[in-house]
Amino acid sequence: MTKIYNAEIIDCALKIKDSLVICDLHLGYETALNQNGILIPQFQYKKIINKLYKIREKTCANKIIINGDLKHSFQKIQKQENKEILGLLDYLDKYYDEIIIIKGNHDNLTQYITQERNIILKDYYIEDNYYITHGHQIPESIPENIKTIIIGHEHPSITLRNHERIEKIKIYLTGLWNNKNLIVQPTFKFLSYGQDMLQKRTLSPFLDDINYLDFNVYGVDDFNTFYFGTLNELLEFQQENKEI
């Protein structure tokens, strides 16, 4: 069991006391890809349900928090999105006493679906001394008693290279932001691992103007967690291998 700021890592979910936090499901992503000429089957929903089932087997929680980007399309509600979001909510309702959904930058239309299950999207959620927000914008204010902020949006991952072999892995990042702990959580979707943080590009404004390269890296793969040191240490290792 690996804990970061007293939150337990369970693959791409975080457990805080009796609550689970996941983010960036991007349901309907296959439809968006198909419309852009990338033809793939709709397989992500079943894998997400299967992952949630395995997480539920490993822990007991009575609340689940989806931290933004439940759906993918900005422009409209796709048939796939509507069907899968309602199906997911019905599945979660069987096993959790409470479902919290936080609005992400892809969720401008999500409310029209979730209101069918009487769920209103929130801009943020406070659980104990954790402030949970999607991460695409900085909140106007965060209570002083908050010790840890949890964000998604970044889709952090790393790419490890050893000569011709390349491995990509989803990661958590942890460090300090404005004297508070910051956890950057990996995406829960399956169609991509996310953004390679070793390329020194960021999406979330939380990572602007801070030295996020000093953040700690925790990789997750099939319910195993691996500590990789800091992003800086990984960059140095990568550079040393290039020079060999």
Cα→Cα distances 230→180, 212, 216, Å: 18, 9, 4
Residue-wise pLDDT tens digits, 142-165 = 999 999 999 999 999 999 876 667
Query: In this structure, are residues 157 and 170 in contact, taking their beta carbons and an 8 Å threshold?
Result: yes
Q: How far apart are CA 203 and CA 137, in angstroms?
A: 10
Q: How far apart are CA 131 and CA 153, in angstroms?
A: 15
Within 10 angstroms of residue 224's Cβ, the number of other Cβ atoms is 10
Written as six digits, the tokens of 5 are: 């700021």
Q: pLDDT band for 78, please (50, 70, 90 cuts).
A: confident
**β partners of residue 181:** 148, 176
Residue-wise pLDDT tens digits, 27-64 = 987 777 777 787 776 778 999 999 999 999 999 899 99
